[in-house]
Structures are given as C-alpha cells and as structure tokens.
C-alpha cells in the first residue's frame, strides 16, 4: 500500500473522529445554550409579571381603594394586573403566555387546567419547592414552562378570599360568592406559569451548528488537501525520484544525474547520504576494475 | 376655609354680591355656593375637613354656636351632590341640613344627593328625618358602607351597598378620597371676581327655602330693595317668604289711629 494511501487512511480516520467529536460537543453546547436562553427569557418574563404585581399592590391599589365602594375594579388586583401586563406583551409576542393558574379562582379565566393543576398540587405536596420547569407540546410548537407557587402570605389577601361576608360588596356583585373563597393564610392556592416558545432559539442553535459544521468540514477538507499536497511535494516525489536514480545506479548507470540537494531537511540528508553512497560505490567498482 | 379647586363655574353669593369663585378664594360664614352644570368644586377647612360640590349644587355655609356648646359647621344643602370628608383632626361636628333630613357626623366620609340618598363611605353618621312640620325625628345611626334612601313617605330605607342609579349619577371625582390642597394657597390672597349684585332669580330658591334657613335674609338682602326689579319680584312672591311683607308694605303694619271721640 502506498505511503499516501496509508497516510490518507489514517488522516481520514483522525478527521472523522475529530469531526464527530466536535459535532457532538458543539451540538450539545449549542442546545444547552439555547435552553439556557429560553429559561432566562422565562425568568425575565416571570420577574416582569412579579414587578407588575408589586407595582399594583404598592401604588395602584391604595389609590383606587375608595372606588371599591362603588365599583369593583379588577385593576386593584395584583393577579389581574400581571395578566393584563402580559396580555399587552403578547400582542407583539403571541407565543409567550402567562397565567396565574389557580385551583379555586375568583375569576374563571384563572382556573387551572389539568396540567397546571398537577403543577399546583406538586407545589402543595412538596415542602419548599420553589420552581418547576418542563417542556410540553402546544399547537404553537414545543414550549418551555416555568412555574412558581402562589402562596398567601399577606393577610390582606384574605379580605377578598376568605368568606363572602368579608369581601367588598362590589366584588360579590361582579363575581358572585361561589368561587375564590376559603383560602387560608400560607396556603398555596395556585402557580404563576410562564410558557415560552422553544422553536426559535432551538432553530437558531441548529442553524449555528450547521454553519459551524460546514465551516469545520471545509477547514478539515482544506487541511486534508494541503497535507496531501505537502506530502506529495515534499516527501513522495523526492523519494520516488531518489528511488528511480537508485534503480538506475543499481543497473550500472553510474552517470545518471545527481539528485539535487536543496535545503537541510530529511530528504536533503537522505539525498546527500545516497550521493555519498553512490560515490563510494563508484570508487569501489573502479578499484575492483583496476 | 378656602375654595381649593374649581372645575367649571361656581358662584359665591356673599352679602348682596355675586362673586365668581376661583381656587384660593376664602369662603366665609353665610356664603352661598352654587355650582353650574357640569361643574365640580372643593372647599377645604384648616382642620382638614373637605367639602366637594357636584354640578348644579346649592349650598350655604353656617356655623351654629348655641349656648356654650361646641360650634357645629352647618351646611344647608338645597339641592345637588355633596361629599364631606371629616378627618379625626376636625374640630367640630358637621351637619348637612337638607329639606327633609339632617345628617350629623365627625370622622367620617359621606356622600349626599339632594335629600333623597346618602352613602357612608367610612365612619358613621346620625340621620334625623324631619316630619311635615319640620320637627326632627329620632336620629338613626348609619355605619360605614350603608346606603340610605328617603322615600316619599319620609321613611329611611337602608341597603347594603349603593344603588346603581346613585353610583351612575354620582360625580366621578366623588369616587376617590378628596385631596388636600389647602397648603398650596398658604400665604396667598386670591380675590373672587365680582359679577354684580344679586338679582331676585339668584336667591329665589333660598328666599323661598325652609324658614329656618331664611333667618337673617331680611337684613342681608334689604339693601337690594333699592333695585326696582328685585323689589317687584320680592313683592310678587311675598306669599312664599311672608317675612318680607312687613318690609315691603310697612304701611300695613303701622298702628291705626284710634277714632276721634264724639
């Protein structure tokens, strides 16, 4: 088997292994980064909603408190504020969702669906659990959801959620007395659930991976060709020429041209050695003839 | 006390003058305040009591001090929407006097429409419904959140929350706590703009109002008798304010000369 074939076989094997390894590692890293980016988006969305809740509780509700005597204003409710804030966001980003999924809500739109109820119950049954995340398929594609428990820690909340008699009359007039009552202090009544689409970041990661691999393969190919050229030019051709000269000398052609020695590399050293050996041979033959 | 906010127009009848109120104008005892259609005004007292007037409201300020008892601020409400917010720091009780009832309180916030409906936002008030002869009935206490309607039989019907017709018609600013604005006018003098002398039409409602409210009106508006139109209209309606008869027609009340002895 020719040297170049052996060389290329080994080189191909090394490159294949390297490409494979690089592909696996880069794919994993890009996918993980994409998921981290999705999760970070979800956390930012969640914090935005929490900020809307805090702003409502600290600034809006006190200003509108008196008006509750006349008309129930859902704008005074932190959960409503957070949901409406997110609904505004969804006008530009419709694939993102936020919900304060509650097992026993006052507003029916907040009632937890089956999978949301599972999350809420997980929070209720697992002490100290502060976050649940997961992935699920939706009509809009695969989404990542991030959930945090809604725990009643402010006794003020119970004014509207303990017993109907304690709730503002205007609230009862709007929502009735059948839902959203019986909550207890320190009870987990629901979960804030943010869902963010995974498609775009994952697609971006895949695209980056493809570009990276194409570039890597191109680079490997270029190196492969370059190495072959160098091998042929610097080793194989000089060795073949030296071999042809050696053959002719071995057949008695002592006048064959000298191998030109250029540089001080190993081929030059070999050529010089061959030249000395040839001279020694010629001298020895002459001595025998004389 | 001062006017601290006016949206639209509010007339201030002081003595025999008609003045146009503006934010910062001082309000005096016995002033009559009347808001125009779609107008809204705020009056604030130094002790924090705030009085809001809705549109087309007629109200007179009086402070009664009877026989050593603490002075009480009386607001005679002839018609319209009034909200009074009296904080803990207020120095006197207030009394909203309507044509058919009297509402007294302190440390409370209450909204009244004419003398037909009232709502106690917080605190408590005492409501006395007067009979047909004007005699005050037994006071009824209304606590926070209670809504009362005075029906045609002068019975006070209580409800757990304000009627929708009341809420819908109520001036929108009444839904919020009345703001404290008096500090803005500290050290400032704001004069109301004169708008002439009162005409009979300006004060007809008051001249023809409850007799108790009319005390002092003869002395107050007597200078206007020099106005022929005023005098004539006073005479035309003297049956509605008979105390003016003696002033307009003094000759009717002069003692007659005894007949000469034969």
For domain A12-205, give its CATH number from 1.20.120, 3.30.450, 3.30.310, 3.90.660. Answer: 3.30.450
Residue of A nearest to B165 (CA): A70
A70 CA: distance to closest CA in chain B (Å) = 6
Q: Between chain A and chain B, how many beta carbons pairs sit less than 8 Å apart?
A: 25
In degrees, to the nearest 5, what angle opens at C-alpha A286 toward C-alphas A284 and A290? 120
Residue of A nearest to B177 (CA): A66
Predicted local distance difference test score (pLDDT) of residue A50: 92
The residue of B117, B123, B177, B178 whose CB has the most chain A CBs within 10 angstroms, and thus the best one to mutate to test that interface, is B177
**Neighboring chain B residues of A64 at a CB cutoff of 8 Å:** 176
Instruction: Write the CB contacts of B213 (distance below 8 Å, at least 6 apart in sequence).
Output: B60, B76, B97, B206
Residue of A nearest to B159 (CA): A169
Residue of B98, B132, B102 lying closest to B114 (CA atoms): B98
B12-16: long-range contacts at Cβ-Cβ below 8 A with a sequence spacing of 24 or more?
B12/B192, B13/B198, B13/B202, B13/B203, B14/B192, B15/B220, B16/B197, B16/B198, B16/B220, B16/B221, B16/B223, B16/B224
Does ipTM top 0.85? Answer: no
Minimal Cβ distance to B167: which of A63, A66, A71: A71
Looking at the complex, does the CB of residue B160 fall below 8 Å from at least one CB of chain A?
Answer: yes
Interface of A with B (CB under 8 A): 63-64, 66-67, 69-71, 169-170, 173
Residue spans per domain, chain B:
2-185, 201-252
Kindly state the average pLDDT of the residues B92-109: 90
Q: Do B161 and A169 touch (CB under 8 A)?
A: yes
Looking at the complex, does the CB of residue B177 fall below 8 Å from at least one CB of chain A?
Answer: yes
Kindly state the average pLDDT of the residues A142-157: 91
B81 CA: distance to closest CA in chain A (Å) = 16
Looking at the complex, does the CB of residue B141 fall below 8 Å from at least one CB of chain A?
Answer: no
**Neighboring chain A residues of B160 at a CB cutoff of 8 Å:** 169
Minimal Cβ distance to B160: which of A66, A70, A169: A169
- A77-123 per-position pLDDT tens digit: 999 999 999 999 999 999 899 999 999 999 999 999 999 999 999 99
The residue of A62, A70, A172 whose CB has the most chain B CBs within 10 angstroms, and thus the best one to mutate to test that interface, is A70
Predicted local distance difference test score (pLDDT) of residue B64: 63
Biggest distance spanned by C-alpha atoms of chain B:
81
Kindly state the average pLDDT of the residues A242-265: 82
Please report, rounded to a whole number, the percentage of residues in chain A having pLDDT higher than 90. Answer: 61
The residue of A63, A66, A165, A173 whose CB has the most chain B CBs within 10 angstroms, and thus the best one to mutate to test that interface, is A66
Residue of A nearest to B160 (CA): A169
C-alpha span between A55 and A62 (Å, rounded): 11
Structural contact between residues B129 and B240, judged by C-beta atoms closer than 8 angstroms: no
C-alpha span between A215 and B228 (Å, rounded): 106
Band (pLDDT 50/70/90 cuts) for residue A66 is: confident
Placement of tokens 């956390």 in the chain: A43
Band (pLDDT 50/70/90 cuts) for residue A3 is: confident
Minimal Cβ distance to B176: which of A66, A169, A173: A66
Instruction: Write the CB contacts of A202 (distance below 8 Å, at least 6 apart in sequence).
Output: A31, A34, A142
Whether the per-residue pLDDT at B65 is higher than 70: the answer is: no
Looking at the complex, does the CB of residue B165 fall below 8 Å from at least one CB of chain A?
Answer: no
Residue of A nearest to B161 (CA): A169
Band (pLDDT 50/70/90 cuts) for residue B253 is: confident
**Neighboring chain B residues of A174 at a CB cutoff of 8 Å:** none
Instruction: Write the CB contacts of A91 (distance below 8 Å, at least 6 apart in sequence).
Output: none
Residue spans per domain, chain A:
12-205
**Eight-class DSSP state of B251:** G
Q: What is the DSSP string of A233-253?
A: IIIIHHHHHHHHHHHHHHTT-
Looking at the complex, does the CB of residue B170 fall below 8 Å from at least one CB of chain A?
Answer: yes
Residue of B nearest to A165 (CA): B160
Greater pLDDT, B85 or B153: B85
For domain B2-185, give its CATH number from 2.60.120.1440, 3.40.50.10540, 2.30.130.30, 3.90.180.10. Answer: 2.60.120.1440
Kindly state the average pLDDT of the residues A258-268: 81
**Neighboring chain B residues of A173 at a CB cutoff of 8 Å:** 161
Minimal Cβ distance to A70: which of B160, B162, B177: B162
Predicted local distance difference test score (pLDDT) of residue B261: 64
Residue of A nearest to B174 (CA): A67
- B122-151 per-position pLDDT tens digit: 999 999 998 887 788 899 999 998 999 998
Compute, in degrees rounded to 10, the torsion defined by CA atoms B30, B36, B39, B41. Answer: -10
**Neighboring chain B residues of A63 at a CB cutoff of 8 Å:** 176
- Expressed in angstroms, the distance from the first to the final Cα of chain B is 67
Looking at the complex, does the CB of residue B114 fall below 8 Å from at least one CB of chain A?
Answer: no
**Neighboring chain B residues of A170 at a CB cutoff of 8 Å:** 161
């Amino acid at each position: 088997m020719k040297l170049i074939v052996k060389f290329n076989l080994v080189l191909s094997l090394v490159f294949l292994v390297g490409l494979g390894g690089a592909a696996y590692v880069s794919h994993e890293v890009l996918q993980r980064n994409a998921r981290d980016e999705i999760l970070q988006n979800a956390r930012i969305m969640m914090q935005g909603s929490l900020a809307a809740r805090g702003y409502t509780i600290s600034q809006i509700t006190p200003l509108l408190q008196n008006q509750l005597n006349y008309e129930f204003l859902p704008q005074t409710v932190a959960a409503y504020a957070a949901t409406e804030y997110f609904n505004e966001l969804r006008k530009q980003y419709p694939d993102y969702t936020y919900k304060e999924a509650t097992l026993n809500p006052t507003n029916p739109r907040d009632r937890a669906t089956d999978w949301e109820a599972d999350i809420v119950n997980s929070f209720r049954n697992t002490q100290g659990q502060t976050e649940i995340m997961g992935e699920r398929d939706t009509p809009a594609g695969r989404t990542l959801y991030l959930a945090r428990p809604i725990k009643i820690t402010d006794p003020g909340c119970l004014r509207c959620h303990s017993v109907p008699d304690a709730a503002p009359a205007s609230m009862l007039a709007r929502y009735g007395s059948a839902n959203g009552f019986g909550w207890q202090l320190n009870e987990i009544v629901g979960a804030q659930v943010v869902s963010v689409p995974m498609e775009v970041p994952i697609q971006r990661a895949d695209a980056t991976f493809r570009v990276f691999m194409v570039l890597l393969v191109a680079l490997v190919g270029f190196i492969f060709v370059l190495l072959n050229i160098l091998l042929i030019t610097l080793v194989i051709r000089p060795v073949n020429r030296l071999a042809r000269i050696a053959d002719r000398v071995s057949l008695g052609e002592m006048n064959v041209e000298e191998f030109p020695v250029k540089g001080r590399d190993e081929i030059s050293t070999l050529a010089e050695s061959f030249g000395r050996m040839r001279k020694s041979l010629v001298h020895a033959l002459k001595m025998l003839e004389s | 006390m001062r006017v601290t906010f006016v949206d639209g127009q509010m007339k201030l009848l002081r003595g025999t003058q008609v003045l146009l109120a503006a934010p910062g104008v001082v309000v005096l005892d016995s002033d009559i305040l009347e808001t125009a259609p779609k107008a809204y005004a705020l009056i604030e007292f130094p002790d924090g009591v705030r009085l809001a007037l809705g549109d087309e409201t007629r109200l007179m300020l009086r402070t009664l001090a009877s026989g050593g008892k603490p002075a009480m601020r009386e607001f005679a409400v002839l018609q319209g929407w009034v909200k009074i917010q009296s904080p803990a720091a207020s120095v006197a009780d207030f009394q909203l006097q309507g044509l058919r009832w009297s509402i007294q309180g302190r440390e409370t916030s209450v909204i009244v429409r004419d003398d037909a409906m009232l709502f106690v936002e917080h605190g408590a008030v005492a409501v006395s419904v007067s009979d047909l002869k004007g005699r005050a009935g037994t006071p009824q206490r209304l606590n926070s959140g209670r809504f009362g309607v005075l029906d045609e039989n002068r019975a006070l019907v209580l409800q757990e929350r304000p009627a929708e017709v009341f809420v819908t018609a109520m001036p929108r600013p009444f839904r919020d706590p009345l703001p404290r604005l008096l500090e803005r006018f500290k050290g400032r003098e704001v004069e109301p703009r004169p708008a002439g002398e009162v005409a009979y039409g300006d004060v007809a409602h008051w001249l023809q109002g409850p007799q108790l409210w009319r005390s002092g009106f003869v002395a107050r508006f007597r200078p206007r008798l020099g106005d022929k139109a005023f005098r004539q209209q006073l005479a035309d309606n003297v049956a509605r304010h008979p105390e003016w008869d003696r002033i307009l027609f003094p000759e009717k009340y002069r003692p007659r000369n005894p007949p000469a002895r034969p």
